[in-house]
Amino acid sequence: MNARSSWLEETWRVVLLILVALAIGAVFDQILLFVLIALAAYTLRNLYNLRRLAAWLGDPQAATIPVHFGLWGDIFSRIARISSRQAQREKRLTTLVHEYTASTSALPDATVALDPQGRILWFNEAASRLLGLVAAKDVGQPLQNLFRNPDIPAFLAAADFSQTLQTRAPGNPELHLEVRLAPYGEGQMLLLAQDITERLRQERVRKDFVANVSHELRTPLTVVGGFIENLQNDDSLTDPRLVRPLELMSQQTSRMSRIVEDLLQLARLESQSATTMRAAVDIGELLQLVADECQGLRDDPPQIRVDVQSGRRVLGDDKQLHSAVTNLLANAVHHTTADGCVDLSWCDDGADSLLAVCDSGEGIAAEHLPRLTERFYRVDSGRSRERGGTGLGLAIVKHILKRHRADLEVSSRVGEGSRFTCRFGPDQLIA
Ligand code: ADP
């Protein structure tokens, strides 16, 4: 029976009751008394059913419904249906939660769920292993209070979901972790920590290999280069057929030596500690020095102009900054014709300062821009090799800037020129 028809039936039942009470009351000439008796009986019946409802709500099952007909029967069976649906949903959710918990427990990465105040709600097996958390005592504790190393608490406080943190595992300095945060729900966060010890070891092996190979090649190349030079200067070798091969051999050994030197510079940049980064470098002076040095790069260099608007100095390594600016300026000079110009500038942009190398040369097509700082990436390999380029210049610039916590921004248009901007933040600047 639907709700509307049971309401109608109940209304008719009340009307009938009052009509019967009116009829009996008319016979005995006591209409009011009999109507009151009828209403009292109706109220008592409803109170009784309400009591039964309250008792039954403790465990509302279809099998134990106390009333099966009329409006009350309808109310009881509807509640039984809702309750049964609710129970099924709860069962489904419980199964889901169990499956989710079991699968996240099996994850090799540490996963810690945190409430909006940073307290631990839950964590998996790997979090015990990698972060040293203990279920019995740590759930409910603020996560940042549990680490002695300040890295993780500072990372949690910053709550920057786009960043990752590389740090050593609390309690096990042999393990290296990469930690990230992910938001979920209403203000909750997931802390995920991955064991990257093996990855870092492999990276170190690769870097050491490149550094060692470069180092080993250095001496043989110097010896070969020296012999070629001796042969070129040897007046007793008069055969004209030797001139061109010796010239090519000399060019190629010099090119290999430059590649080896650039690879060694990259290796040094990757392994050097931050202790060399303490000098206050006068960028105005540096730009003027590099501009003078680069005048001799070509017989017909473009005009090089220096514009220094800022008096701020950069806290860092003067040799590295010299190398970065030289690489940028050498590229600009090589890619700009004699009637063009190259501008070196140093100016402030709010709290940041910008070192820019801007040329009116050939420019770079947009599809190459994202890959320019990759090792050995060249827009035109043939031309780069021809002029002695190693394809490592911009990779070195990027590394040097990274060590100075500066960013490299590149904008360019084919046929109009390029602009390489190094943005230094306030932490690296001295007023
Ligand atoms: P390379 O030794 O070939 O110059 P770099 O890493 O310094 O290597 O530069 C990578 C590539 O970027 C170059 O091969 C060149 O094609 C392009 N490039 C760099 N600077 C400029 C510039 N100012 N104008 C045009 N192209 C440039």
What pLDDT, in 10s, does the model give residues 196-239?
A: 999 999 999 999 999 999 999 999 999 999 999 999 999 888 88
**DSSP secondary structure letters along 182-237:** EEETTTEEEEEEEE-HHHHHHHHHHHHHHHHHHHHHHHHHHHHHHHHHHHHH-TT-
CATH of domain 107-195: 3.30.450.20
249 band by pLDDT with thresholds 50, 70 and 90: very high
- Runs of H (alpha helix) within 70-185: 70-106, 125-131, 135-138, 151-158
Sheet of 110-114: strand order equals 120-123, 110-114, 188-195, 172-184, 164-169
Report the pLDDT averaged over residues 192-196.
95
Tokens for 417, please give them.
């020129």
| Exposed/middle/buried for residue 386 (C-beta within 10 Å: 0-12, 13-18, 19+) | exposed
Distance between CA 297 and CA 124 in Å, rounded?
61
Share above pLDDT 70 across residues of the chain, in percent, rounded to a whole number: 98
Q: Which of 160, 105, 157 is nearest to 135 (CA)?
A: 105
pLDDT surpasses 80 at 118: yes
The reported pLDDT for the residue numbered 70 is 85
Task: Write out the H or E segment, with its range, that includes residue 146.
Answer: none
The reported pLDDT for the residue numbered 65 is 87
Answer whether 275's CB lies under 8 Å from 314's CB.
no
Amino acid, single-letter form, for residue 85: R
For residue 194 and ligand 1, the question of a CB distance below 6 A is answered with no
Q: HSE-up of 270 (CA within 13 Å, CB side)?
A: 17
Give the number of other Cβ atoms within 10 Å of residue 264's Cβ.
16
Report the pLDDT averaged over residues 324-349.
96
pLDDT surpasses 70 at 134: yes
Q: HSE-up of 391 (CA within 13 Å, CB side)?
A: 15
pLDDT surpasses 70 at 3: no
For residue 330 and ligand 1, the question of a CB distance below 6 A is answered with no
Give phi and psi for 162, each to the nearest 5: -90, -10
For residue 131 and ligand 1, the question of a CB distance below 6 A is answered with no
Give the number of other Cβ atoms within 10 Å of residue 359's Cβ.
27
pLDDT surpasses 90 at 194: yes
Tens digits of residue pLDDT in 272-316: 766 667 789 999 999 999 999 998 888 899 999 999 999 999 999
321: which residues sit within 8 A by CB, 6+ positions away?
281, 283, 286, 314, 400, 404
Report the pLDDT averaged over residues 44-67.
90
pLDDT surpasses 70 at 358: yes
Report the pLDDT averaged over residues 370-386.
87
Distances (CA, A) of 241 to 177, 233, 244: 61, 15, 7
Q: Where are the domains of the chain?
A: 3-101, 107-195, 199-270, 279-430
For residue 378 and ligand 1, the question of a CB distance below 6 A is answered with yes
Given CATH 1.10.287, say whether it is the number of domain 199-270: yes
The reported pLDDT for the residue numbered 66 is 86
Tokens for 403, please give them.
């060590």
By DSSP bridging, strand 279-281 and strand 172-184 are: unpaired
Report the pLDDT averaged over residues 115-130.
91
Mean pLDDT of the chain, nearest integer? 91
85: which residues sit within 8 A by CB, 6+ positions away?
none
For residue 380 and ligand 1, the question of a CB distance below 6 A is answered with yes
pLDDT surpasses 80 at 361: yes
For ligand 1, the distance from its centroid to the CA atom of residue 427, given in whole angstroms, is 29
pLDDT surpasses 80 at 384: no
Share above pLDDT 90 across residues of the chain, in percent, rounded to a whole number: 69
For residue 170 and ligand 1, the question of a CB distance below 6 A is answered with no
Report the pLDDT averaged over residues 421-426.
96
Q: Quick one: fold of 279-430?
A: Heat Shock Protein 90 (3.30.565)
The reported pLDDT for the residue numbered 276 is 65
Q: Ligand 1 pocket test: pick from 266, 328, 359, 394 the residue with the most ligand atoms within 8 Å of its Cβ.
A: 394
pLDDT surpasses 90 at 136: no
Give the number of other Cβ atoms within 10 Å of residue 267's Cβ.
19
Amino acid, single-letter form, for residue 141: Q
Distance between CA 297 and CA 78 in Å, rounded?
91
The reported pLDDT for the residue numbered 1 is 57
For ligand 1, the distance from its centroid to the CA atom of residue 206, given in whole angstroms, is 25
For residue 417 and ligand 1, the question of a CB distance below 6 A is answered with no
pLDDT surpasses 60 at 42: yes
Distance between CA 17 and CA 41 in Å, rounded?
10
- Asked if domains 199-270 and 279-430 share a fold, the reply is no
Distance between CA 169 and CA 164 in Å, rounded?
14
For residue 302 and ligand 1, the question of a CB distance below 6 A is answered with no
For ligand 1, the distance from its centroid to the CA atom of residue 330, given in whole angstroms, is 9
The reported pLDDT for the residue numbered 6 is 82
Residue 119 gets which letter from DSSP?
Answer: B
| Exposed/middle/buried for residue 80 (C-beta within 10 Å: 0-12, 13-18, 19+) | middle
The reported pLDDT for the residue numbered 275 is 60
* Least confident stretch, 110-119, 274-283, 316-325, 398-407: 274-283
Task: Write out the H or E segment, with its range, that includes residue 124.
Answer: none
